[in-house]
Amino acid sequence: MPERPAHCYRYFDTPAYTRKEYIRGVPGSKITKFDYGDPNGDFQALVRMIPLEAGQIRHNALEAARVIATKHLQSVLGEKGFHLKVRAYPHQVLRENKMMAFAGADRLQDGMRRSFGKPAGTAARFRAMQPIIDVRVALDKKDVAKQALKLACAKMPMPCRVIEVN
């Protein structure tokens, strides 16, 4: 069975590495806003995207899921017809031990000796069934919200499910 594209950072077995005040060179999060649509709107239906297993999701995957869900909702419901909330902030700093890949590189690098790595990005850690994205819509527009979150599930590195919460 072929590996999925996010297999390097999908699971975690190390302690948290989140103290950004002590880490130099942490790249910023790609997620710019966590609330979209009309946060004060009167919406009765809540549709939620949840992971089926524990893991971590990189900030660029969260942003890609947010973008595709927001575009679908805005094209069908308009700017004020929904409220989308990203429920996670990527605190976890990911490290990468970069290896050189050219002729003579073996004389310039140490391999796995002192291989702590440099910050390469950030991720959010999730438990199974912990909400990732919430969408609130009118009762008759639940199917639109479900379709938007189904599109967003394709951007996640782990299997996800879309559920209704009422």
**Rounded to two decimals, what is the model's pTM?**
0.84
Span 40-48, average pLDDT: 94
pLDDT of residue 152: 96
Q: Which residues contact 66 (CB under 8 A, 6 or more apart)?
A: 31, 36, 84, 86, 133, 152
Encode pLDDT of 71-121 as tens digits. 999 999 999 999 999 998 998 998 888 877 776 666 667 778 777 888 988
First to last CA, the chain: 38
Of the options 3.40.1190.20, 3.90.1170.10, 3.30.1360.200, 3.50.50.60, the CATH number for the domain spanning 35-165: 3.90.1170.10
pLDDT of residue 1: 43
Q: What are the structure tokens assigned to 30, written together? A: 């790609």
Locate the domains of the chain by residue range. 35-165
Higher pLDDT, 130 or 103: 130
Q: How many CA atoms lie within 13 A of 163 on its CB side?
A: 11
Residue reference for tokens 């990203």: 86
